[in-house]
Amino acid sequence: MPAGDSATVTLTLDEVRDLSIRCFLANGCDTANAEAVADVIHNAERDGAKSHGLFRVPGYIKSLKSGKANGHAVPVLEDLAPAVLRVKGDGGFAPLAQQLGREPLIERARSQGVAAMAITDIHHFQALWYEVEPLAEAGLCAFAFTAAFPYVVHPGGRTPIYGTNPMSFGWPRPGKPPMVFDQASSALARGEIMIAARDGHDVPPGTGIDRDGHETTDPNAILDGGAQLPFGGYKGASIAMMVELLAGALIGDKFSFEAWESDAKDGGPPNGGEFMLAIDPGRLGDANGWAAHAELLFERILAEEGTRLPAGRRHLNRAKTATEGAAIPAALHAEIVALCG
Identified catalytic residue from 192, 256, 274, 333 = 192
Q: What is the C-alpha separation between 34 and 50, in angstroms, rounded?
A: 19
Q: What is the C-alpha separation between 253 and 231, in angstroms, rounded?
A: 25
Identified catalytic residue from 15, 51, 154, 215 = 51
Known catalytic residue: 192? yes
Known catalytic residue: 185? no
Identified catalytic residue from 35, 42, 52, 123 = 52
Taking residue 60's Cβ as centre, other Cβ atoms within 10 Å add up to 28
Known catalytic residue: 51? yes
Q: Could you list the active site residues?
A: 51-52, 192
